[in-house]
Structure 1
Amino acid sequence: MFRKIWVLICLVVVAKVVFSDLKRDAEPKPPADPRLAQILTLVEQEKSDDAYEAIAQMLPEVRNPQVVQYLYKLRAHIEVERRHFHYAIESLTQAQEAGDQSMATSARIDEIKNWIGRMQEERAMADHYRDARGNGMAGELKGQVTILYLYLNDNRWSKWSGKDRLQNRQYLQQVTDWYGRRATEYGLVKPTFNTRFFFLTSPKGITKEWLRSKAFFSDAQHLIAQQLGYGNMAQFVEAKAPRGEVALVFHSNGEARSFALSCRSKEKAPRCHYEYAMLTEKMVPGARHSYVPQVQAHEMLHLFGAADLYRIRNARDYAVTDIMNYYSDTLGHATIDPITAWSIGWAEAPNAPFKIENKEK
């Protein structure tokens, strides 16, 4: 599960403040350089990804200290816009190393460090990374993957309109496309996804407490039997996903905290098979919309073995753009770092500043 959505909205506000301040600092009297002018044009046109790449290409070629300082600060405010705060501190520090002695830059570094500190409310809950690889219906994020996506509806707290479902399908398409792009970064063939949507109505209503209760999964099986015509979960899964990996997702259109119940390692849970993600992200306009695909991607990665990094004490400054640790401004700017890649079957176990269960296996 991930930090509450209202905390993330606060981070959006923080990011906007930092971004505007950094941009204001960068705008006065930019050094004269035609290549820099081109980059600034890209920034003004809101083509920040192109500007970021152009900065990376230009930095090794520049000898003018003022231009170097300016480029690093410009890179920093793009990184803040992406909510890659650790990278922004690194860029501003490099600006200082290139000769920037301004109080503003020094104060900005301290300010961003303070904001990072405010994001650590759950950091000390774990000391090690748990191994949950290759167990349950969703083993590794490879090959053929069927996503069984069940909308939970009660026409009150969780009410799904056709528009809501269409928007959610678009979000989920972003997620599966993103998984594919990240897989290619590890030299893997993109997984193939078959997403199947279903609609379940709960006559007794839906509450946050029920969704988290031990009774939910049994109750959900009864709803599937009554409304979809399958005797139990096994029959439903076998009919809809006879082969490959299976990710079972429930989604209520109400505002609460999403979570996943996934199988632990085969050693600790040898008989565990059924696992599911419970999404409670409401389809509403505004800033939160940029987070729904990240919540979906994060919670489903749990099913394939990924563990939360944001809960681990020594992971504060490790894998800082990994989606299991920090959110970015958009899913496209989030990453799957080697620790998460290991957990979902994509890579070898990396070195880390904390213990990794069964790292050598």
Structure 2
Amino acid sequence: MTTYVWDYLREYEAEREDILDAVETVFSSGQLVLGASVQGFEAEFAAYHGAAHCVGVDNGTNAITLALQALGIGPGDEVITVSNTAAPTVLAIDAVGAVPVFVDVREEDFLMDTGRIEAALTDRTRCLLPVHLYGQCVDMDAVGRIAAEHGLAVLEDCAQAHGARHHGRLAGTMGDAAAFSFYPTKVLGAYGDGGAVLTSGPETDRRLRRLRYYGMEERYYVVETPGHNSRLDEVQAEILRRKLGRLDAYVAGRRAVARRYEEGLAGTGLVLPRTAPGNEHAYYVYVVRHPRRAEIMAALKERGISLNISYPWPVHTMSGFAHLGYRPGALPVTEALAGEILSLPMYPSLPPELQDTVIEALREVCG
């Protein structure tokens, strides 16, 4: 039997009755698009974060895209972010015609090195886009200070940080807007695609609602400004409403898995995750580091254990972004990490016996 990096089937078995009831609730409601389930989820997700507004959209990529547009970011504007992220972060910047500008990450926790932001500023910089990577937050005190000093918008990429905190503040509550993904693997995952944007700005909220619905505001067929078809699905919204009540339990389960790894893998030579000062880690993925990555992954695959790499190719090295002009060595920490990081199985319903199998195999291979 293969042990996978992520598996939803045990969680589904435990929650099956509630999930199927969510589907039945929507199918029998008489309204399948932008109905009570989307409205309810938006209100509850906003309330969980203490935010004024939540706008449900079709996926996490479009959450970033629409948020950038709602914040007034467009062609020629520069957005400072990181290359050690999933490509959709950067694809969204490109989609609005803006230019991604990369800063390196910190070696100790793989998060945006905020000490490098000011050197990357130009007269075209309009937005800072920190990525709360792997389940913990960027130093948002530093990001907020720089943004305030230079008049920049702040958009948090929270796709991997549901339930994470920085000095007590939830991810998604520390900028002008925050984009979330509810892809099934996420800490709060749907049973398909989904996304949302949080904001406490009423005008940003109004723009987002217009942008996700073709650019229409009050009357169908009347386009106020060109928009998209990016609505959160009613079924996914209702499932997310049910799962939102279990979000804190999901995070607690992930932290328990992380503690077991930390205890079991001590002394193996693996560089284990380090939680940054002031952070409360949600452990979306459990990323370790070792110079013999390929050997370790091959050995565990032979034992039926599937590992993953998040991410093996920094965005600035991809051929699709060659036009940005980044050369090898431009982001040395990011590039070094890409050759050594690997992700271990991580999800709340991971059985202790399977986790112990992973730990024992790693101790044997790394020892």
Instruction: Please confirm whether the aligned pair reaches a TM-score higher than 0.5, indicating the same fold.
Output: no
Tell me the TM-score normalized by structure 2: 0.30
Tell me the TM-score normalized by structure 1: 0.30
Which of these two proteins has the greater Rg computed from alpha carbons?
Answer: 1
